[in-house]
Structure formats: C-alpha cells, structure tokens
Amino acid sequence: MKIGIFGGTFNPPHIGHVRAAQASARELKLDRLLVIPDFLPPHKDLAPGSPDGEERLRLCRIAFGGIKKCRVSDMELRRGGRSYTVDTLRRVRETYPQAKLYLLMGTDMLLCFEEWREFEEILSMVTLAVFARGEGEERQIAAASENLRLRYGANVKTVKLEETEASSTEIRALLPQRAGRELLTEGTYAEIIRLRLYGAKPEYEWLRQKAYAMLDPKRVAHVKGCEEEAVRLAERWGADVERAREAAILHDVTKKEKLDEQLRLCEKYGIMLDDMERTEGKLLHSKTGAGIAKYEFGCDDEVYNAIFWHTTGKEDMALLEKVIYMADYIEPNRDFEGVEELRRLAYSDLDRALEKGFSMSIDDMTSRNIVPHARTMGALEWIRGRG
C-alpha cells in the first residue's frame, strides 16, 4: 500500500493545496492520501484571528472532499501542542506497518529539511515527495535531493505542478476586501463566508449569483433595482453602504416559497411568529430571508434586521432598516400612483417618506379587505410621533 501524508496549517486550504494533492495521488499512484492539518506548526505561530482547529479541519474536509482515496485526519489536532512531523509519522507507521509512506512537501520545506526535529528518523520512514513549480524549483530540488541522498541515503521524488499563484497569507489579506474567491474551491469559499472566517466579506457578484438562483427569474430585475436604490439611499443618509448592498441583494431570497416551506424555515432558524404570520406566507419571506442571510451567508445583525423588517416595518427603526424598507418600495422598476412623490421624499426627508409609505401600504391593504399587520400600524404611529 502506498500512502501519502500531506500536512500543514491549511489556513485556509486553497486551490494550490488541492492541485498538489491531486497531482501527488496521480503521479505517485497512491492508494491513500492523508491530509493532516496541524494544531500548531513547529516553526511559527498561527496568524492572529485564525480559525480554531475544528474550523480548519472542516475547511479541509470540504476542500479535499472531491479527491478519490483522500482522507482528512484530525490526529494532530487531537494530539495538541506543536505538531512535529516525526510524531505523526510514528503514529502512521504504527497503524500501517507495511505501507510505503510518502511525505508531501513544498520546495521551501525541502531546503530547510535538515533543521526539522529528528529529520534522520523521518528519512528512515518515508520517501520525500516534493512539489516542483517550474524549472527553477526542479533545479533546487535536484541539488537538495542529491545532498540528502549522499549524506543520509534519502529517497526523494519530484511531483511536478502547474504554477498556481495562491498562498494562504495572501488569501487571508484578500478575503476582508471581498476578493480571493478564485483561489479557493467553491465549497471552501462558501463555508468561509457562512462563518465569516478571516474577517471575510462576500464578493458581490458571487452573492448576486447565489441570491438570483433562489429567485423567480421575474423578480431578479426588482432585486437589482433594490440594490441600486439601497446604495443611493445609504450614501444620501450616511448608512453603511456595504451592509445596504448585502441586505438588498438578499432581501427577497425566499419570496417564491410557499407557506409550508416558509414555516419550515422559521422553525429551522428559530423565528417566532404571531397568529397572522402563521397563516399568511407573504409576511414571512422577510423573516426567512433574514434567516438565510444570517445563517447561510454570515450577515451580521444589522443586515439581518434590515431584511427582517423590510415588509412590515416596525417601531423605532434603525437607519439601515429604513433604507432597505424604502429601497424596496421605490426602486426604479416600481410604477404606481404616488411613487414619484415617495421617491422625492426619500431623498429629502426619510422619515416623512416612511410615514407616507406606511400610510400607502395600510390604505392599499384596507382597500383590498386585508387587515394590515399590527407592526405596520405601530410603525406609522411611531414615525408620526417623530414629526
């Protein structure tokens, strides 16, 4: 049996790691590939703000999950302390005494290999398999391999890789800037955004693609218009533009769902409902959409609340809640009597625009023999009291 051992911090695991694993499994004809995230690397500390071991383990399982015969092991995380390779190899050797072991590493690790703890014992247990990215690295590997062979009898193989401009350090810097997605697998990126690891913020185009896929196609134009309007209103009134954009993109993601699915989502996300909401699905999409935004896309409480209240409104609305309520009401695709006056008010006196919007909604529902929600009635009384 041929077993490859691929260790590292994987902080986060990126496409370079995945391609290296795939190439190693293919070129070395491995029967099993063990990916082993470390607890603490022996030569450095984890970067500030790094996810804990369990979160990095989960990211690895997602990133490497598509590789045949690959298994992500938690042995170093369970062991704790500094993760020395020699200790891990002893454990693997005990478990697979007859296996031929290959230790996967980058060129930089090979060049400092003689500094590793008990490196000679490591060489007695494994063949080193070194990733080569281009001819320059191949020459470095050849020289270092010959030195280790002559001095210690080491076995070294080269695994050729396509050059990939990806590093975990770079990705950690890019993620808070809504960038770096192309350097990660889709599943890894989605999980990082869901948990907002590394201070990550979703790339807007990725977020749009995800949101639009959940919509009735006829609703996409409205959501695009709402995003445009939310940004303009946020800029006009000093709300957080990035949060306004996220909220607008996601505000209607569950709009097409029927009552039974809305109720299921409310139960999933722990959303409390009143008697009217339990029977009226149209009132629920704002609440379940907020749940999706928070628990599937990692949005913060401000975005959650802005989506949650964009249908009924409420008393004592925060600025971002006002912005999203009005953006949804007056976005460019809306065409109803009084919308132009509402648009003018929205940029001259936001509270008065809200008052008019609440009043128009209540009048419209009443004219159709629909009982307005108590939250909307309360919101109208509250905004009038601010005049």
Return the pLDDT at 387.
62
Place of tokens 């009084």: 338
Tokens of 82: 């500094």
Report whether 71 contacts 95 (CB < 8 A).
Answer: no
Q: How many CB atoms lie within 10 A of CB 165?
A: 10
| C-alpha to C-alpha distances, 221 to 106, 217, 253, nearest whole angstrom | 48, 8, 13
What's the distance, CA 117 to chain centroid? Answer: 36
Return the pLDDT at 8.
95
- DSSP annotation string for 309-368: TTTT--SS--HHHHHHHHHHHH-TT---TTHHHHHHHHHH-HHHHHHHHHHHHHHHHHHT
**Measured CA angle at 349 (ends 234, 324), to 5 deg:** 35
Low-confidence ranges of the chain (pLDDT < 50): none
Return the pLDDT at 212.
98
Return the pLDDT at 116.
95
Tokens of 334: 């809306």
pLDDT in tens, 229-278: 999 999 999 999 999 999 999 999 999 999 999 999 999 999 998 878 88
Return the pLDDT at 386.
76
pTM: predicted TM-score of the whole model, two decimal places:
0.94
CA–CA gap between residue 365 and residue 110 (Å, rounded): 72
pLDDT in tens, 297-351: 999 999 999 999 999 999 999 999 999 999 999 999 999 999 999 999 999 999 9
Q: Write down all domains in the chain, each with its CATH number in brackets.
A: 2-186 (3.40.50.620), 204-384 (1.10.3210.10)
